[in-house]
Structure 1
Amino acid sequence: MDMIAALANIVPASESAAEKQPSFILKMADETMLAYGTKHQLAAGPLDGFSARVDRHFAEHGDRPGILVGAIPFDPAHSAHLVQPARMLRVQGDHEVGGIPGLATASAPLMRVPVISVTPEPTADAFGEAVNAAIRALDDTSSGLHKLVLSRCLKVRAGRSFSAGELLRRLASDASASVFITALPDKDGKRILIGATPELLLDKRGHRIVSHPLAGSAPRSQDPAEDRAAGEHLLSSAKDQHEHSLVVQAIMDVLSPYCSELSAPGGTTLRATASLWHLGTRLVGRLRDPATSCAELAALLHPTPAVCGLPRQAAHAAIGALEPYDRDFYAGAVGWCDSSGDGRWFVSIRCAEIRGEEARLYAGAGIVPGSTAEGEIAETAAKFSAMLHAFGLEGEDVERRIG
C-alpha cells in the first residue's frame, strides 16, 4: 500500500483540513510515521522520572494507539512534550512527503518565503569569545571539563507564515537524514520543531538496541577531489577522533550495564550528509532484560556528550553561563515510545523552531583541547547550511551574517 492510499484509509473524508494535518511526522529511511490529533498527553515532569511517567501513562490509558510521540527538551529539568495521538499511521519503506494531506503536493513548485530579517544570536564574534572562554575552561584542570558543546542561533522573520510542507520537502531531499515535524507546547502562539537529523540516539526493538552517535565534522565540497580529501582528513584527525571517542565511550558506559552484548561492529566510519562529513560509530547491543524500556534508556543517555559535553553536569552549567538563550527543544530528542517498551529517538539537531512568521535556526559545535574559535565558527556556519537551504536563505549577505 502506498502512502496516499494508506492515508485515505486512516483519515476520514469528513474531517476538516486542519484535522487532516499531522501534528507529528517522522520520515526515516525504513519507515514514515504520522500522528493525528491528541487523545491523551503525557504528564509533565523532568527527565528524572520520565520512564515511570511513561509506564504510568500506558497503565492508565490502555486504549489504542498504544504509542507516545513528540519531543524531549535539551534541559533534563524541563518537561517533555509527548502525546498519545488520536490516530497513528506507520508506512514501511521510503516515500515522498508530497502525498501527506496538509502538506505541499509532490508536484507543486517550492515557494520562496520573503524574508524581512536574519539576526544571529550571538553574533559570530560573540560566539568566538564564548568558544575561547570554553577553551580556557578546558585548559584549566580544576574545571574538570573534557568537552563542551556550544551553539548559536539565527532568528529569521518572514513576510508570511512559513509552510511546514515546503520546508519538509526541502529537508527530505537529503536522504541521509531523518526528517521530522513535531508540535511543541504553545509559547506566545503555536510552535513546531522541524528538522533533518542525521543522529540516532536510540532504537530499541525487543532485546536489540542500536545507537549511532556522531561527533567530529567537516564541511563537504562540490569538487569531488576536495570533498574526498575533506573526509579523509576528518577520519585521520587526532582532535576529531578524540572528541568522537569521548562521546562513544560515554554512551557505552551508560548502556553496558543493561546489555549482555554491546559492540561497534564497523568501528568509526565517515557518515555523509548533504553538507557535512561526520565521524560516526554504530553501536549494537542485546539487552539482558527485554523489559528494559526505550524510555528508560533514552532518559539515561540524554543529553549525550555529542550535544552537551563531559562531564554532563559541569558542561550543562557552562552552557548555561556561556549561551545567551535557553535551548528549549534544540539538542533534545524527537521520536516515540510504545506500550511494549520499544521506541526510537533521534537527537534534535539541524532543526528550527517555527512560530508563524518567525523561526529560530540552531547549530552547535563540540569544543575539546585543540579547538579554535575560528574553526568552531566555520563548523557552525556549515551546520546551518541545511536549514538555510530549506528556508531559501543563501547568498553572500547571509554568509556574512553568520561568519
Structure 2
Amino acid sequence: MTNQHLLAEVSAKEVLDAYKPGAFFLASPKSTMLAEGMFAEVPDTDAENQLDSLPERVRQTLLEAKQAGIKHPIAAGAIPFDGRKASRLFVPKNVHTAGPLSFAESSAEKPQSNTYDIRPVPEPEGFMSGVEQGVFSITDGPLSKIVLSRTLHLTAEKDIDIPQAVKHLAQHNPRGYTFAADVTGTSETRKTLFGASPELLLSKNGTSILSNPLAGSRPRSTDPAEDQRRAEELLQSAKDLHEHAVVVAAVAAALKPFCRVLDVPEKPSLIKTEAMWHLSTEVKGELRDPSTTSLELAIALHPTPAVCGTPTDAAREAIQDIEPFDRNFYTGMAGWCDAEGNGEWIIALRCAEAETRSLRLFAGAGIVAGSKPQDELDETSAKFRTMLRAMGLYQDEL
C-alpha cells in the first residue's frame, strides 16, 4: 500500500480541483498538497494541556501507519489557539503533491452566487471598547501588547460552496498559504476551517528550518500612489517596527535552543497580499538535532506575540476576558508533519469556520501603547476583505 503520489505529470491546479471538504489542502508559494481518506486520527488526551504530548501522539500514530503498510505517512490538519483544546490531526490514506499553483493560463475563478445575512460579533463599538481595555492594560497593567480579534457571522440562503471559495482564495493570494482542514470533531455537521494565511509559522526540511513572522500592517489602496505611500509609511513607522521587533525577538528566542546556527535579519522587509501590507522577517536556522520535528518547533513558537501578545500568559488571559467568543482554530495552526519530522505549519489567519450554511470569519489587530480604536477597527475590516471577496461580498465597511 502506498499513500504518496508525486504527480509530476499532473498540474497543481488539478490537485486543487480534486479538493473536497473532509480532506486537507495546503497551497504554498512552493508546493501544493492534498491529503484525503482517513487512515487514522491522532488521538486526544485527557491532560489539561493537549500540546505537551501532541508530538509523541503524532509520532506513535505515524509509526502505526508505517507498520500497517503506508510507506510515507504524514499527519495533517489543524491545531487550536488554546492548547487545552483538542487538535484535529489525521493520517490520510492518500497524499497528492505538486508544484506551486499558477493561474496564468486559466480563467478567473468567480465567487459563488449566494445571499448572506451578516452579523458582527462583537459589534464595531464593542470591539473598539475592547481595544480601549487593551490599551489600559498596557498603560497601567502587565501587558506590553495584546492581539484582539472580532468575528463576522454569515448565514447563507443556500449551501456554501467551500471548494469554489478555496479556489478563489488560491488564485487571489498566490504569495500566501491557502488551506482547508476538517475540524468537525464531535459536531453533527461537518465543519471546515479554510482561508489564505500570509504567515508561515515554521517549516522544516532535513536540518533546515524557516519561520516568517509578520507584525505591523497597513490596508492596501486601489490608488497606486496612495498604496505606495502606505507601504513606505509602514516601513518607517516606529510603532510598527517596534511591534515587529518584539515578535521577531520572541521567535528567535524560542528557536535558538534548537539551533546550532540561527540567522535573524536586522531589519524587516515588506510583503503584500491582495488586502494588506505587512512587515516581514525570514528567520532561518540549522538544527542541532535532526530528529527535532517541525511540530515540536511549531509548538515551541505557539502562540507568537503576533497572534496573542506579550507576556504570553497575561495576554492570553486578557483575550479570554475581552473577546466575547471562542477563537477555536483561528490563530492556531494548520499544516502537516511526516515521520522524519519534516513539515510545514502556518498560522490560521484570514480564515473562516464553515458549516452547511453558516460561516464565522475572523480578523484581529495588534494593540500596543498608543493604539487608536478606530484604526484597529479599520485594520480588521481590511483583513476581512480576503474572505468576504472569496464569498462574493465587497462590504469593506464592516
Same fold (TM over 0.5): yes
Alpha-carbon distance, 1:188 to partner:
4.1
1:180 maps to amino acid:
F
| Residue 157 (structure 2) aligns with | 159
**Shift, 1:118, TM fit:** 0.3
> Percent same amino acid among aligned pairs?
40
Q: Offset at 1:261?
A: 0.9
In the alignment, what sits opposite 1:47? 51
Moved more, 84-93 or 328-337: 84-93
Q: C-alpha offsets along residues 149-184 of structure 1, whole Å, 9 cap, x if unaligned?
A: 000000001111111121012111221211011111
8 Å CA contact 1:3, 1:95 repeated in 2: no
Which consecutive residues of structure 2, in runs of 5 or more, have no partner in the other structure?
A: 1-7
Q: Residue in 1 aligned with 2:96?
A: 89
Taking the TM superposition and a 5 Å limit, the aligned residue runs for 1:170-189 are 170-172=168-170, 173-186=172-185, 187-189=187-189
Query: 2:294, 2:343 within 8 Å by CA — same for their partners in 1?
Result: yes
Q: 1:141-220, aligned counterparts within 5 Å?
A: 143-172=141-170, 173-186=172-185, 187-220=187-220
1:32–1:95 CA contact under 8 A, matched in 2: no
Query: Greater CA deviation, 243-252 or 180-189?
Result: 180-189
Task: Using the TM superposition, give the Cα deviation of residue 206 of structure 1 relative to its aligned residue in structure 2, in angstroms.
Answer: 1.1
State TM-score, norm by structure 2. Answer: 0.91
Residues 45-54 or 334-343, more deviating: 45-54
Structure 1: stretches of 5+ with no match in the other structure: 12-16, 99-105
Shift of 1:263: 1.3
In 2, the alpha carbon distance for the partners of 1:265 and 1:307 equals: 21
4+ residue segments displaced more than 4 Å: 4-8, 95-98, 106-109
Amino acid aligned to 2:149: S
- Code of the residue aligned with 1:170 in structure 2: it is H
Mapped partners of 1:5, 1:232: distance in 2: 35
- The question of whether the paired residues in 1 share the 8 Å contact of 2:135 and 2:368 is answered with yes
**1:79 Cα deviation (Å)?**
1.3
Supply the distance in 2 between the matched residues of 1:257 and 1:329 (Cα, whole angstroms). Answer: 27
- Which of residues 39, 47, 60 in structure 1 aligns to 2:64? 60
The answer as to whether partners of 2:11 and 2:98 remain within 8 angstroms in 1 is no
Which string of whole-angstrom CA distances, capped at 9 and with x for unpartnered residues, describes residues 379-399 of structure 1?
A: 1011111111111111xxx34
Render the CA deviation track for 1:187-224: whole Å, top value 9, x for unaligned. 24111011001100001111110000000100111111
The 8 Å contact of residues 21 and 36 in structure 1, kept in 2 or not, is answered as no
The change in CA–CA distance for 1:119 and 1:209 in structure 2 (over 3 A counts) is same
Q: Distance in 1 between matches of 2:339 and 2:124?
A: 45
Are the structure 2 counterparts of residues 242 and 301 from structure 1 closer, same or farther at C-alpha, using a change threshold of 3 Å?
same
SS of the aligned residue for 1:299 comes to helix
Change (3 A) 1:108 1:52: same
Residues in 2 aligned to 1:51 and 1:109: alpha-carbon distance in whole angstroms: 38
1:190-269 residue pairs with structure 2 within 5 A? 190-265=190-265, 267-269=267-269
Normalising by structure 1, report the TM-score.
Answer: 0.90
**Which whole-Å CA distance do the structure 2 matches of 1:399 and 1:220 have between them?**
12
| d(CA) in 1 for partners of 2:154, 2:62 | 39
In 1, the alpha carbon distance for the partners of 2:243 and 2:111 equals 40
The equivalent of 1:103 in structure 2 is none
Q: CA RMSD in A?
A: 2.2
Deviations 1:296-349 (A, max 9, x none): 111111111111111111111000000011100111101000000111000000
Paired letter, 1:218 = R
Residue 391 of structure 2 aligns with which residue?
391
- SS in structure 2 opposite 1:247? helix
Matched pairs, number: 381
